[in-house]
A and B are shown apart, each in its own frame.
Chain A
Amino acid sequence: MNLLANPVVANVAKSTLAFAILIAVWQVVGQLTQVPEHIFPLPSKIAEVFVRTFPSQVHHLAATGFATVCGLALALVVGVLLAITVIYFASIKGAVLTVLAAFNSIPKIAVAPLFVIWFGLGIESKILLAFLLAIFPVFVNSVTGLGEIEKDMLDLSKISGGNEWRIFTKVRLMHALPYIADSLKVAFPLALVGAIVGEFIGGNRGIGYLILSAQFNMDTALVFAALLSITIFTTAGVGVVVLFEHLFLNWRPSQRAT
C-alpha cells in the first residue's frame, strides 16, 4: 500500500494494468471469434514469434536503431547550428524560415526513392531520411529556446560584462535545453519513421525490411513482433530523454517535486 502511494510507482502500475487488460481482452475476444491468424494474430502467438525470432529481431533493430540515432544526432547538431545562425544573423531569419518551411511542406516520404538513387541502398539513405524528418522540430524549438530570452536578463548580462560567448553558453543555451529536450521527444519517433521508410524502399537489413519480408510471406505474427521491437526501442529512446530531463533539468516546472 505504501509503495502505491508513490506517484511514480502508482503511474507505472496503472499503465501496466491498462496494457494487461487490453492484451487480455484481445486474447479472449480473438479466441472466441476465431479470426484467422494471418489477419489478426493472438497476443500469445505474437509473443511466441517474438521470442523465437529474437536474435533476428535484434539484428534488424540494430540497423534501424543505428540509422535512427545517427539521423537524430545529425538533426540535433544541424538543427541547433541553424537555429544559432538564425538568432545571431537576424537579417537572414526571414529567408531561412521561409525556405525551411517550404522544404518542410514537401512530404519527405515522397522523395525517399530519390535518396535511394542518390545514396544507394546502404545505410546513408536511411540516415538522411531520418535526419530530414527529425530536423524541423529540433530547429523550431531551438529557435524559440535560444531566442526568447527576457530582455531584462539580456540587459543584466550585458551590463555585467557578458560577451556574446558567455551570454550564449550561460544564458541562451541553458534556457534552450528544455526546449531542445522536448523537441527530441517528437523528433525521435519521426527519425524512426524515416529510417523504416528508407528500409521499405530498399536494402536487406532493418525492421522495415523485416516487416516487408514478413508481409510478403503473409507472416502477420512476425509483422506484429517487429512492431513490438520498434515500440520497445522508441519507448527506451524517449525514456532516455525523460531521464536526462529528470537528472539535469529538474528545475523545470514539470519536473519539480510536488
Chain B
Amino acid sequence: MTERVIAAIDQGTGSTRCLLFNHSGRMLGVGQREHRQFHSRPGYAEHDAAEIWRNVLRVVPEALRAAGLTPADIVAVGIANQRETTVVWDRHTGRPLAKAITWQDTRTAGVVADLAHAAPEITAVSGLPMASYFAAPRLHWLLDEVTGLRAAAVAGDALFGTMESWLIWNLTGGVNGGRHVTDVTNASRTMLMDLTTLSWSDKLLEIFDIPRRMLPEIRGNAETYGTCVGVLPGVPVAGALGDQQAALVGQACFSPGEIKCTYGTGAFLLMNTGAILPSSTHGLIPTVGYLFGDAPVYALEGAIAVTGSLVQWLRDSLGMIPTAAQIETLASTVPDNGGCYIVPAFSGLYSPHWHPDARGVMVGLTSFIGRGHVARAVLEATGWQTREVVEAMNADSGVPVERLKVDGGMTANNLLMQFIADVLDVPVERPLGSEAVSLGAAYAAGLAVGYWPEIEVLRANWHRAAVWEPAMDPAVRIRERENWGRAVDRSYGWAPPEH
C-alpha cells in the first residue's frame, strides 16, 4: 500500500506549484506553472486571478502524476500564498472583477498619502506601517476605480480576498457554495484586521471605506475550511498561511526567538515572538506567525522588497547573465565589489526604512567597475538588506540573533550565503529541502486532520543541509557597512512627491 500524503499549493508571485509531502516531510512530487506578469504602467504589477486558478487545476494533477499517486492518496490540502495581493470577484459568475493587484504594485501611493492623517490610528490597530505594500489601500482604490464594484460589494454580489481566499472559494465549489474564508496570517496583512482581537476592525473599515459584506471570514491556520469539489474531490482544505508565515512553520521555528529568512523575489525575515504581540520602534512589522488551536503565536517581520528580483532584472532587463544562477559565475570573476554598491529601491524601501520615495541607485562608479563588480554589488545588496533587518530585530528584541535559518531559491547561491554569514557575523544554516513555504502549508493542513499529531513531531523533520560560518575581517565588515549606509542615504527622496 502506498503511503498517503499531504498536498501543498504554493501560489507565489511568479508561479503556482503543487507539492506532495509524506510523514517525514519528504517531497514526493511537484507540478509547476508560471503565470503572466502584467506591468501596463510604471508602478503597476498585476496578475490574472482566473489564470492562476486554471494553473491550480493543472499543477495538482501534474504533481500526482509525478509521484505516481491518485486523489485518493491525498489526506488534506494546504495553501501558502503571495501575501497582500488583492482580488475582487463576482460571487454569481465566479469571474474576477479586475486584475489582481500584487504586493509589488505601487499605484496606491496616492491613497496612502491621502490617508496620512489616519496613519497613527491605522498602525495602532493593524500593527502595520502606513505603506502601499498592504491590501487595504488597493481595495480602496479598486472600489473607487472599478465601475459598479462598490454597489456590488454593498449588495453582497462582489467578494474580496487575498489569494488564499480566492483559491479556497474555488476549490470548495466556487459559485456552487464555495467557502469565503481567509486565515489570520493573510488577514493580518490586509491592514483591516485588529491584531489584538484577530477580527476585522470597524474603525479600519471606516477609514478605508470598505463594505464589510465583501470580506471573508477570518479563520485559524490549521482547520478544515471546506471540502474540495472537482479537483481532489472530497479532500479537505485544511490549512492556509501567508507564504512567509508558512516558511516560519516549514522551518520549524516554533519557539520564541527562532528566526528564518526566505530568499525569493523579495526576502522576508520572521522571528517567532511566542504569545507576546511584539511592537517595533525600528521599522519592523508585528504580525501573526500562526494560529494552531486557540492561542496565536506572534512574529516580528522584516520585509525586503527586492532581492531575487534584482538578479532577474540583471538577467531580463540588462541581459548581463543568461540565467539567474550565473550571477554567481559573473560575481566570482572579481574578488570584491570594487567600490560599487546597488540599492534596489525599485518600489521604495521597506523594512527597516519605509521610504516610499526612495528609488534604486548604483553608486561608487569609476572606470574600474566592470560587469563582475556589478554582479557582486547585486548579491551584496541582499546581504546588506538582511543585515539592516537583523540590526533592527536585535534593537527591538534586545536579544542578539545568534543564527539564521534560510530557505528559498537564492540559497542555491553559495557566494551569497557565505556573504550573508560574513556580514551578519552569525552562522547561516540551510535545511534539507529548501521548500519551507510549501512544507509549512502541508504541516498546517496535516496538523488539522491529525496526519501529524503535534508540532514537536515536525521539529524532528528538520535536518541541517549546510552551515556557512562567518569569515570576514571585522574591519572590512565595519567599513563596508558604512559604505552601504551611505549608499542607502543616496536613494532617498528620488521619486517625485504624489501631491
A and B held together in a complex: no
